[in-house]
Amino acid sequence: MTRAPLPPLRGTIARDRPLADLTWLRVGGPADIWFQPADEGDLAAFLRALPPEVPVLPMGVGSNLIVRDGGVRGAVVRLGRAFADVAVEGAQVRAGAAALDAHVARMAAAAGRDLAFLRTIPGTIGGAVRMNAGCYGRYVADHLREVRIMTRAGEVRSLPAADLRLGYRSATLPEGAIILGALFDAPAGEPAALEAAMAEQVARRDASQPVKARSAGSTFRNPAGFSSTGRADDVHDLKAWKLIDEAGMRGARLGGAEMSAQHCNFLVNAGGATAADLEDLGELVRKRVLQSCGISLEWEIMRVGDREHPAGRAGNDAEKPR
């Protein structure tokens, strides 16, 4: 990683910044460079100053992420409040990439617009678009009209949703692009009814998922058939949690990592886990499911960085959960 000086920037920048405290699983080594820009102009200046060979990783609130113990080579960009605005514009909702999904759902509902499916999706709009997030039968692909991105060269572009080729838990973006915001079509709804529906969703989630544990949401994708918009084909629908349960891995432990006994498709940091504990347990689950039923589960959680720091030291310098 280059140690060349960067130009004056108005945001917050640090070298060798541990990332564990920025992820829901509370694991992960340092980023060579960590940057939280003050605004779009600041982000553009940063990207243009980086040598083109330096990789850039956009990071939201770390809700669907394992940062490996050796940390991340290159630059990690985390968008903050300047990228979190939400505005209801008639039948559409415009949201910054750093806006929390739940906040967007509530803001839309208060204005009589229905994006209620976002209420129980952890993370930010940027991550929701990148993963074509969805629940209760609705997906980002059902509502997304366009996205604004910044290219690796620091140029702002708008892309229609069709250009993203949204699929099951996937979107196609230009290499190195950072999502700045998104525009959604939002059908009309009665605010009180939308609030009631969201409250019911939250109650269902809290009853079935380990919401108080350190997790990153669903660990593995459901191995089902899906349409081009990412909608499940119920005829071939299989649930990852059921396959994990049948393979005898509910509650399985490795170091400080555990497959939740409450919902066995949730990988949790049960106390003092390393990123290696979590990833290795996940790989063991995949192996056991393959042996049990012949199906190879695919990770839904993103895993980034190096297993070990290039200098040979462990990268997980952040304080461990107590």
The CATH number of the domain where 163 resides is what? 3.30.465.10
Do 92 and 187 lie in one domain? The reply is yes
Do 94 and 163 lie in one domain? The reply is yes
Domain boundary among 63, 78, 93: 78
CATH, residue 298: 3.90.78.10
* Structural tokens at position 273: 């886990």
Catalytic status, residue 190: no
Pair 156, 180: CB distance under 8 Å: yes
Give the pLDDT of residue 227: 41
Give the pLDDT of residue 6: 76
Whether residue 200 is contained in a domain is answered as: no
Question: With b meaning 16 or more CB within 10 Å and e meaning fewer, what string describes 234-266?
Answer: eeeeeebbebbbebebbebebbbbbbbeebbbb
Mark the ranges of the chain whose per-residue pLDDT is less than 70: 1-4, 224-237, 311-322
Do 228 and 174 lie in one domain? The reply is no
Do 169 and 234 lie in one domain? The reply is no
Catalytic status, residue 63: no
Give the pLDDT of residue 313: 46
Give the pLDDT of residue 86: 98
Do 149 and 233 lie in one domain? The reply is no
Whether residue 133 is contained in a domain is answered as: yes
Give the pLDDT of residue 238: 86
Whether residue 313 is contained in a domain is answered as: no
Give the pLDDT of residue 311: 65
Query: What span, in angstroms and rounded, lies between the C-alpha atoms of 110 and 107?
Result: 5
Spot the catalytic one: 218, 260, 286, 288. 218
Do 157 and 249 lie in one domain? The reply is no
Do 153 and 247 lie in one domain? The reply is no
Query: What span, in angstroms and rounded, lies between the C-alpha atoms of 321 and 91?
Result: 43
Whether residue 116 is contained in a domain is answered as: yes
In the chain, the number of structural domains is 3
Give the pLDDT of residue 224: 67
Do 120 and 64 lie in one domain? The reply is no
Give the pLDDT of residue 309: 76
Do 97 and 178 lie in one domain? The reply is yes
CATH, residue 29: 3.30.43.10
Pair 138, 108: CB distance under 8 Å: no
Query: What span, in angstroms and rounded, lies between the C-alpha atoms of 292 and 284?
Result: 12
311-320 pLDDT per residue, tens? 654 443 332 2
Name the pTM for this structure: 0.88
The range of the structural domain enclosing residue 173 comes to 82-192
Sign of dihedral through CA atoms 228, 202, 181, 143? positive
Do 135 and 174 lie in one domain? The reply is yes
Whether residue 201 is contained in a domain is answered as: no
Give the pLDDT of residue 2: 52
Spot the catalytic one: 17, 169, 250, 288. 169
Do 293 and 263 lie in one domain? The reply is yes
Catalytic status, residue 218: yes
Give the pLDDT of residue 237: 67
